[in-house]
């Protein structure tokens, strides 16, 4: 069935982005006009929704000013910093019932919005999900490139379904978005959840740009935390590895006992201290590792059971609902 020209909203999470948000809004408004001129979106029902994730700078006043100057711009302000994934969900929930298509993009616009036309063409051709995938990572440091590639390799090894090179630059149709919001996880890792939805997908490849101003809001510590959330939220294989480790150590202990008995009955001398120390250290480290993995799962289970809200909206401004 041929699809009609959709309404489109850009979902833009922000945290301490006062240096770039005015420029980003200008670029996104220009892109909306170009997409409408190309017959890919309906301008009167489209716009930009900024979500201020508890910024400590002047990000929210800038959003208020932008909303006052353009009816295409709206803003949500969260009561405190809840993290990128929660802010993104807040924006998606706000438009889920009224907008045909949403495109999520970071406020720094390092992801190339020029491929949005390709995303919408894929939508009109029947795709419900379009992933923005980076062709290369030349704007990243060598260490960040190494850890990113290692993460994608490791999480796939753990059995999780994920699109390598994809972060949170993506297009979702309304029906996919409504299905996504049925997932109630508190430990959010959207780039791993969305591939589980199914539906027809496409990929838009792009080259990531350098950041125009400001600094990254995802330093190594936050990136590592997101990676850990992804692994433990999407896979139970670490628990299975504990079982395998236990079986392997049990097998080694049987060999050790047999060797000890043979040495005893054949009159061989057992020095003992070095081998015993190594064995204790090895077993102690393995036990602590296993307890840590179990603790990660228990912590997430504790968070899920409490069912606390992912975010709290303090105020909104401008056009938040599109219809």
DSSP 45-106: G-EEEEEE-S-SSSHHHHHHHHHHH-TTEEEEEESS---HHHHHHHHHHHHTTT-SEEEE--
Tokens of 239: 């628990």
Task: Check residue 4 and report its DSSP letter.
Answer: P
Task: With respect to residue 2, please indicate whether it lies within any of the assigned structural domains.
Answer: no
Compute φ and ψ for 53, nearest 5 degrees. Answer: -85, 60
CATH code of residue 69:
3.90.550.10
Distances (CA, A) of 42 to 24, 35, 106: 21, 8, 23
- Assess whether 164 and 147 both reside in one domain: yes
Q: Is residue 132 within 8 Å of 232, Cβ to Cβ? A: no
CB half-sphere exposure, 127, CA atoms < 13 A:
16
- Assess whether 55 and 133 both reside in one domain: yes
Task: With respect to residue 68, please indicate whether it lies within any of the assigned structural domains.
Answer: yes
Task: Please give the tally of structural domains in the chain.
Answer: 2
Task: With respect to residue 302, please indicate whether it lies within any of the assigned structural domains.
Answer: yes
| The residue count for the chain | 323
- Assess whether 213 and 246 both reside in one domain: no
Q: Is residue 120 within 8 Å of 7, Cβ to Cβ? A: no
- Assess whether 51 and 144 both reside in one domain: yes
Compute φ and ψ for 243, nearest 5 degrees. Answer: -60, -45
What pLDDT was estimated at residue 35?
A: 93
Task: Check residue 296 and report its DSSP letter.
Answer: H
What pLDDT was estimated at residue 236?
A: 67
Task: With respect to residue 1, please indicate whether it lies within any of the assigned structural domains.
Answer: no
- Assess whether 132 and 186 both reside in one domain: yes
Low-confidence ranges of the chain (pLDDT < 70): 1, 137-148, 150-151, 154-156, 158-160, 211-236, 240, 249-265, 267-285, 288, 302-304, 306, 321-323
What pLDDT was estimated at residue 194?
A: 86
Q: Is residue 163 within 8 Å of 130, Cβ to Cβ? A: no
Could you give the angle at which helices 59-69 and 21-37 cross, rounded to 10 degrees?
A: 30
CA–CA separation, 128 and 182 (whole Å): 17
Distances (CA, A) of 319 to 32, 55, 293: 15, 20, 45
Helix and strand numbers (H, E) in the chain are 10, 8
- Assess whether 176 and 28 both reside in one domain: yes
What pLDDT was estimated at residue 66?
A: 92
Sheet of 201-206, strands arranged across: 201-206, 129-134, 166-173, 101-104, 8-14, 47-52, 73-78, 313-318
What pLDDT was estimated at residue 281?
A: 61
- Assess whether 142 and 58 both reside in one domain: yes
- Assess whether 78 and 163 both reside in one domain: yes
- Assess whether 216 and 296 both reside in one domain: no
Residue 270 DSSP SS3: coil
- Assess whether 272 and 160 both reside in one domain: no
- Look over the chain and give the mean of its residue pLDDT values, rounded to a whole number: 80
CA–CA separation, 200 and 178 (whole Å): 15
What pLDDT was estimated at residue 154?
A: 66
What pLDDT was estimated at residue 33?
A: 92
Task: With respect to residue 3, please indicate whether it lies within any of the assigned structural domains.
Answer: no
- Assess whether 147 and 294 both reside in one domain: no
Residue 127 DSSP SS3: coil
Structural domain span for residue 301: 237-306
- Assess whether 105 and 253 both reside in one domain: no
Which tens digits make up the pLDDT trace of 142-180? 666 666 676 677 666 766 677 777 888 999 999 999 998
What pLDDT was estimated at residue 318?
A: 81
Tokens of 195: 């591939």
């Amino acid at each position: 069935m041929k699809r009609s020209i959709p309404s489109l909203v850009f979902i833009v999470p922000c945290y301490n982005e006062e240096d770039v948000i005015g420029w980003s809004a200008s670029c996104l408004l220009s892109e909306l006009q170009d997409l409408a001129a190309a017959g890919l979106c309906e301008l009167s029902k489209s716009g930009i929704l900024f979500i201020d994730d508890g910024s400590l700078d002047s990000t929210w006043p800038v959003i208020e000013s932008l909303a006052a100057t353009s009816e295409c711009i709206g803003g949500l302000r969260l009561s405190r910093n809840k993290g990128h994934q929660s802010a993104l969900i807040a924006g998606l929930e706000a438009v889920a019932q009224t907008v045909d298509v949403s495109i999520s993009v970071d406020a720094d616009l390092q992801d190339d919005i020029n491929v949005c036309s390709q995303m919408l063409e894929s939508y009109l051709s029947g795709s419900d999900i379009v992933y923005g995938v980076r062709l290369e990572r030349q704007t990243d440091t060598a260490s960040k490139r190494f850890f990113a590639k290692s993460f994608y390799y490791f999480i796939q090894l753990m059995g999780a379904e994920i699109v390598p090179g994809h972060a949170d630059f993506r297009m979702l149709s309304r029906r996919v978005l409504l299905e996504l919001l049925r997932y109630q996880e508190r430990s959010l890792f959207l780039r791993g959840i969305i591939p589980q939805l199914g539906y027809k997908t496409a990929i838009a490849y792009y080259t990531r740009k350098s950041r125009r101003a400001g600094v990254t809001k995802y330093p190594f510590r936050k990136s590592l935390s997101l990676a850990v959330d992804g692994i433990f939220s999407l896979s139970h294989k670490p628990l299975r590895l504990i079982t395998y480790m236990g079986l392997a150590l049990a097998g080694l202990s049987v060999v050790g006992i047999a060797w000890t008995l043979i040495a005893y009955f054949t009159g061989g001398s057992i020095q003992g201290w070095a081998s015993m120390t190594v064995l204790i250290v090895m077993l102690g480290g393995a036990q602590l590792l296993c307890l840590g993995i179990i603790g990660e799962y228990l912590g997430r289970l504790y968070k899920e059971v409490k069912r606390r809200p992912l975010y709290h909206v303090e105020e909104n401004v401008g056009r938040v609902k599109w219809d």
